[in-house]
Structure 1
Amino acid sequence: MTEFSLLGDNTEWQEDFEQRLHASYTAAGPGAAAAEHMLEDVRTGISDWTVAEITDAGTRVGYVAVAVADENGTLASRIGDLRVDALHAGRGHKQAARGWAEGWCAERGAHRVDIRLTEPAGELFDGYRVRGQLRTRLISSPPEPLEGVTARPMTQAEYPEWLASEKVAYVGDIVRAGALSPKEAVRKSDRDFAKLIPEGLATPDNTFLVLEAAGEHIGTGWLKHGYLPGVTYGYSLYIQEQHGGKGYGRAAMAAGEQATLAAGDSALRFTVWAATRRQ
C-alpha cells in the first residue's frame, strides 16, 4: 500500500533532487555555467515546496514535492518533483503519488496543476495539456543562410507595430496554453514587455530583426543575449502566415543562430508553445 508522510527536514531529498536536475540540465547541452544558473533559479523558490516521502510497507520508495502560489491573481499549483526508485517502479506508486499531489493542491484552493518535466515520465501525465517545450540548439559553426532571404535590424518606425503584434501574439499563446484568462493574460503581457524591453530597441543585449525576401517583409525576430551564461533566448522568430511552407522558418532560425554567435553566445534557447502561431 502506498502511503505519504510530509518531511520535516528536506535536506536529503533536496540534495538528490538538485543532482538529478543538474544532470538533466547539463544533458540538454547549454553548458555547466548555464545549468548551474538554472539550478540556482530553482533553489530560490524551493523552500516553499512541501515534500512528502512515498513509502510502501514502511519502506521509502520515492518522493513527491508540491507547491501552491498566487500567480497573477490566480492560485496555481505545481508538482515540482515526483520520483520513485527504479527498484520499486511499475507497482502503481507514481500513479498514487500523482493522485495525492493533485488532491493536496485542490484542498488548498488551486484551480490548476502544472508540472515541468526534465526527465521522461512515460504515460503518467498523458492527461495534462502541453503548454510549451523548452528547446536548446547548440551552435558550433555559422549557419548556412537561405538563399534570397536577408535579416536586417528593425527600425524605430517599425518597432511600435511590431510591439503591438507581439503583445497580441503573447496573450494568445498564454490563453491557448490554458495558463490564464484573456484579461489576466493582457495584464501579464503588459508587465512582461515593460520589464524585458524597457528601452525598446535600445534595450541592451537584445537584437530585433526584420526578415525579407525579394524586398518583401516576411517575418521578424527578437533575441535576448546572455539570457543564461553563453545562451541566447529567442523570444520570437516569426514568419508571417502567408509566407509559410517556403522554408522561411529555417531562414528565421538561421538568422537567430547568426545573431547568437555575433553576440558571443554558443547556444540558442526558445520555447515552442502548444497550438500557437509560432514557426
Structure 2
Amino acid sequence: MSEIAVVTDRSDWQSGFEQRILTAYRAAGCSEPLARALLERALKGVEEWTVATDGTGWIAVGVTADNGTSVGRIHDLTVPDGRAWAEQWCADQGARQVEVRLVGGPGQFADYPVRGQNRMRLAAEQPGLPPGLAVRRLTEQEYPAWYAGETAAYVADIVRAGALTPEQARQKSDRDFERYLPQGYLTPGHAFYAMEAGGEVIGTGWVNHGFLPGVTFGFSLEVHPEHRGKGYGRAAMAVGEWATRQGGDEAMMFNVFGGNEVAMRLYDATGFAVLDEYRSIDLP
C-alpha cells in the first residue's frame, strides 16, 4: 500500500464525497430535496476536516469537543485498510473516542458498536388510526409530567447505548430539549399526543413537522411500560404515519439508540429502513 499523505487541494475528494453521499441517500428512498438537506448536514464543518489519500482512495477526519470529551470523527474512508491510519490520526490529536456516521452499510466499521440509527419510511397516503385506539392532543396541564418522563427516558437511552456517562447524558438531555423545545408546549411545528384505549392513556407521542423537507421527525412514540406487549407498539407507528400526513409531510423519521433491540425489531417489522447510523469506539 502506498504511503498515506495529507492533501491541501481537496476539490477532487469533496466532489466525489458529495456524489457518493447523495447516491446513498437516494438509494435509501430520499427525495432529491431531502437527500440534499441530509448532505448539507453531513458537510457541516467540512472546512475544518483533514483529508488524506494513498492514491487509491480517501480519508477525511476531524476532532471536536463533545460533552467535555475530545471525539475523533472519521467522515470518509475509501482507502482499503485505512482505518488504522484514521484512528491513529484521531488519537494523535488527543481524541479519546472515534465516531463514524455511515450511509449504506458498516463497511470497515462492522466491529464498531452501534450508538444510534436514523430510520425512515414513506407514510401511507391515507393512514388510518388502529381500531380501538383514540388519539388526542396532549393538554398543557399534562405537559410538565410528560416532559419529566421524556427527559428521564432520553438519559436512560443514551446511557444504555454506551455513548456517554450518566452525567454527560443528563447534560446532553438538557441541551437537546432546550434546543428542540425552546418554547416548551408552544414550540412551533411540534405536536404532542396522548394515545388512549379503553378510556385509558396507554402512551404518548411527540413529533416535529417539517423537520427536514417533506419529513416529520418522531422524537417519541412511547407506549407506557404497563401496556407493552399488547400490540400497541405497531399501533404507535401507525399513529406516527397519521401524524405525518396531518402535518403535511410524506415521510416519517425516527432515531433509535444502540442497545434498544426491542425498538430496532419493531422498526424492522414496520418497514422503517436504516437511513444512516452512528458507531463509535473508545481509544486506548
Q: Same fold (TM over 0.5)?
A: yes
Deviations 1:27-53 (A, max 9, x none): 222311111112122333111111110
Counterpart check, 1:185 vs 2:189:
no
Q: Displacement, 1:114?
A: 0.6
Higher-RCO chain (CA-CA 8 Å, sequence separation at least 6): 2
Q: Displacement, 1:2?
A: 4.3
Q: Displacement, 1:262?
A: 1.0
Cα distance in 1, alignment partners of residues 24 and 135 from structure 2: 34
What's the counterpart of residue 8 of structure 1? 8
What's the counterpart of residue 62 of structure 2? 67
User: 2:236 is paired with a residue of what secondary structure?
Assistant: helix
**Aligned 8 A contact 2:124 2:241 in 1:** no
What's the counterpart of residue 100 of structure 1? 85
Deviations 1:61-99 (A, max 9, x none): 111111101112210111111114xxxxxxxx2x3x111
Cα distance in 2, alignment partners of residues 20 and 207 from structure 1: 35
What's the counterpart of residue 102 of structure 2? 117
**Aligned 8 A contact 2:64 2:70 in 1:** yes
Give 1 or 2 for the bigger CA radius of gyration. Answer: 1
Cα distance in 2, alignment partners of residues 177 and 46 from structure 1: 27
User: 1:61 is paired with a residue of what secondary structure?
Assistant: coil
Cα distance in 2, alignment partners of residues 34 and 120 from structure 1: 19
Counterpart check, 1:246 vs 2:230:
yes
Cα distance in 1, alignment partners of residues 48 and 160 from structure 2: 28
What's the counterpart of residue 200 of structure 1? 184
1:219 to 192, 197, 203: 203
Q: Displacement, 1:157?
A: 1.6
Cα distance in 1, alignment partners of residues 59 and 46 from structure 2: 13
- Give the letter for the 2:26 counterpart: T
Root-mean-square deviation (CA, aligned residues, Å) is 1.5
What's the counterpart of residue 272 of structure 1? 256
Cα distance in 1, alignment partners of residues 5 and 164 from structure 2: 32
Q: Displacement, 1:170?
A: 1.0
**Aligned 8 A contact 2:195 2:203 in 1:** yes
What's the counterpart of residue 87 of structure 1? none
User: 2:102 is paired with a residue of what secondary structure?
Assistant: coil
Structure 1 gap segments, 5+ residues each? 55-59, 85-92
Cα distance in 2, alignment partners of residues 52 and 155 from structure 1: 54
Cα distance in 2, alignment partners of residues 9 and 137 from structure 1: 38
Count the aligned residue pairs.
263
2:77 to 66, 76, 82: 82
What's the counterpart of residue 134 of structure 2? 150
Deviations 1:117-163 (A, max 9, x none): 102244x2222110111111112422242211111100112111110
**4+ residue runs of structure 1 moved beyond 6 angstroms?**
none
What's the counterpart of residue 47 of structure 1? 47
**Aligned 8 A contact 1:174 1:185 in 2:** yes
**Aligned 8 A contact 1:30 1:230 in 2:** no
Q: Displacement, 1:209?
A: 0.7
